[in-house]
Structures are given as C-alpha cells and as structure tokens.
Amino acid sequence: MKRKKENRFERIADKITCWTGSSAAFGIAASVILIWAISGPIFHYSDTWQLVINTGTTIITFLMVFLIQKSQNKDGKAIQLKLNELIAASRYASNRMVDIEDLTELELDVLHKYYAALSAQAEKDNDIHKSHSIDKAQQQEKEKQKSTKP
C-alpha cells in the first residue's frame, strides 16, 4: 500500500513539475499578478489586498520548493547512474569513480587535485587522444620513485 501511495505522489509531483515549467503556467501566474495589480485601486490598496498576494505566493513557493527538490533528487540520481554506467563500460576509466557522490567534500577536493594534475599532464602531451587516469598517474609516480632511488 505504501509503495502505491509513493508512486501516486511521484506521478502527481512529476506532472505538477512539468506543468509549472510550461509557458501556460507562466502566463497564468503573470495574469494573476496583473489582475491583482489592476484590482489595487478597487480595494484601495488595503492591507487585505496585499495579504492575499503575499499569502498566495508564499504558500505556492513553499510547496514548489519541495516539488522541485524531489525532481532534482530524481534527476540527480538518474544522471549519477548514467555516469556510473559509462565509467563501468569504459575500458580506460577508473571504476573507483563509480559512486563518488557519496564521498565527503574533503575527499572530493583530493580527487579534484589529482584530476588537475592529470589535466596539466595531458596539456603537455602532443597526442590529444592519449588516455590519462588516476591509476596510470599513480603507476607512473611509483616508477619515477623506483628510478630515482639509488
């Protein structure tokens, strides 16, 4: 029963998210604002007149934050799975990159430094098709250390 409710919520959330991103939704929202602004003189720009638009937009914004976040979470997960599949399928990619989104910010910064070094190394190469990876860089570093030892 719970799964059925989750699927129903997900379908409704997807439909609302798609609809609110449409031109029609924007047109309706702009029309509401225009009607509200035009009605100002009729209601003598009263506090109630201002409260109507403030309350309405606040409620809609509050609910949309959660719908947008749900949509972003789903999209982010799908993108990560696609990237994981590409990494797993690539002969030259390091499989250690699968699921790195679970690392801490500090661990990601360390990986970023490795890739910055690989980028610098790639820029020095004349062959733009030459593959570079963390594994290859570590192997080359080990070879350098062995060759420099007396």
Among the candidates 47, 65, 89, a domain finishes at 89
Number of domains in the chain: 2
SS (H, E, C) 44-101: CCCHHHHHHHHHHHHHHHHHHHHHHHHHHHHHHHHHHHHHHHHHHHCCCCCHHHCCHH
Say if 98 falls within a structural domain.
no
Q: Is the domain of 60 the same as that of 2?
A: yes
Q: Is the domain of 34 the same as that of 2?
A: yes
For the stretch 54-74, pLDDT in tens is 999 999 999 999 999 999 999
For the stretch 33-46, pLDDT in tens is 999 999 999 999 99
**Domain with 150 in it:** 103-150
Q: What value does the mean pLDDT of the chain take?
A: 85
Say if 63 falls within a structural domain.
yes
Q: Is the domain of 84 the same as that of 108?
A: no
For the stretch 133-145, pLDDT in tens is 666 666 766 776 6
For the cut 70, the answer to whether the pLDDT of residue 48 exceeds it is yes
